[in-house]
Amino acid sequence: MATTNITVRVDVETKSDFDTFCENVGINATAAVNMFIKAVLRTRELPFTVTDINYQEKNLVKARAVNSINNMRDLSIRNGNSELTLAEINAEIEAARKEVVKKQC
């Protein structure tokens, strides 16, 4: 089978630690990298979790939004406003907006 080279840059200490690890388990770095590549291709996934930080932040924002909505719903129920129609809700919003405008003038 034909082979090709992959060049990877790592800092000197990381390379040394990796070489030591490989030696301790009885393989060399090339064998370890080949094992990694074949495992990825076999399982079609990385053998560790990689998470998009932006995705985590978006999920946190979404969770906070859902929590806020649930809190508002609970407050509405406690205040006896849980049965408002959409038209009534819109009317309350409009009234609140008008009140803000009055305070600004």
pLDDT of residue 25: 95
pLDDT of residue 82: 67
Measured CA to CA, the distance from residue 23 to residue 30 in angstroms comes to 11
Region of 84 on the Ramachandran plot (φ > 0 left; ψ -120 to 50 alpha; else beta): beta
Which has more confidence, 31 or 69? 31
The 10s digit of each residue's pLDDT in 49-101 is 877 777 777 788 888 888 888 888 888 788 877 677 778 888 888 988 888 88
The reported pTM is 0.48
Which has more confidence, 67 or 31? 31
